[in-house]
Amino acid sequence: MTTNLRTPTSTPTGNGASPPGRFELEPPPEGPARTRRPEITLGVMVVAIFALAGAWFYSSASDADAVLALRNPVDRGHIITNTDLVVVGVATEDQLNTLSREQASAIIGQIAMTDLSAGTLVSADLFAARASIAEGNGVVGLALDPGEYPTLALRPGDLVRVVETPRQGEPTGAEIVLVEVAEVVDVAAIGVQNQLFVSLSMTTAEADAVAAADSQDRVRLIQVAGD
């Protein structure tokens, strides 16, 4: 802004001396308003940043896959129903063993092979089909460590003998045969240490005895030949 100083013409006084000059301030000349380019540039940058952030958030949400998870904790042997499942979004480039909403029917009605916590992503190998049980029979599920089952190749339809191993301090060879012949109805791997979850069909009386021995970790399977 430029200010012009105007000095008025001096008029001599009576004694011949000129009085001190007076200075009058003139308003600055009118002109176009000052351009606010820095402020406009900053505003455009802020808008662009928010637009990019919104686009990234929308893209991330759109890329999430809808998969099934457990709504609540599930105990081993629990029969899965609709109320146990919830759909969650998972965004990852890794290959996950999951089931989509449309595949829920594949596990509804099946039993959990181990205890599962809420939020666990659902996969088919966590559950087993319910066996068709004949009148007077029962099915026992056993979580067995290596050495407690005969082979990793054990399959449904195989026959096994169920024995109760000796208690600590009892002589070796004091096994008790709990079931002479039981049929394997389902086998699934659990954990990462070659554990197997084996479901066996037998009479209800035999099932009670096997369940009691299994609660003490004293069950071992021996594969036998069929007829």
Q: Would you say residue 125 has pLDDT above 80?
A: yes
Give the mean model confidence (pLDDT) for residues 155-165.
92
pLDDT in tens, 36-62: 666 677 776 777 677 676 655 555 544
Give the mean model confidence (pLDDT) for residues 185-204.
88
65-127 CATH choice from 3.40.50.300, 3.90.1210.10, 1.10.3720.10, 3.30.70.1070: 3.90.1210.10
Q: Would you say residue 6 has pLDDT above 90?
A: no
Q: Would you say residue 30 has pLDDT above 80?
A: no
Taking alpha carbons only, the member of 123, 182, 114 closest to residue 149 is: 182
Q: Would you say residue 162 has pLDDT above 80?
A: yes
CB distance 193 to 125 below 8 Å: no
Q: Would you say residue 124 has pLDDT above 80?
A: yes
Alpha carbon 52 to its chain's center: 28
Q: How many residues does the chain have?
A: 227
User: Please, what is the average pLDDT of the chain?
Assistant: 79
- Indicate the pLDDT class of residue 188, thresholds 50, 70 and 90: confident
How many other C-beta atoms are found inside a 10 Å radius of the C-beta of residue 8?
9
> Residues 34, 37, 42, 43: is their CA dihedral positive or negative?
positive
- Indicate the pLDDT class of residue 17, thresholds 50, 70 and 90: low
| Calpha distance 62→56 (Å, rounded) | 10
Q: Would you say residue 23 has pLDDT above 80?
A: no
Q: Would you say residue 32 has pLDDT above 80?
A: no
State the amino acid at position 175 in one-letter form: E
Q: Is the pTM of this model over 0.85?
A: no
- Indicate the pLDDT class of residue 98, thresholds 50, 70 and 90: confident
Domain ranges of the chain: 65-127, 133-224
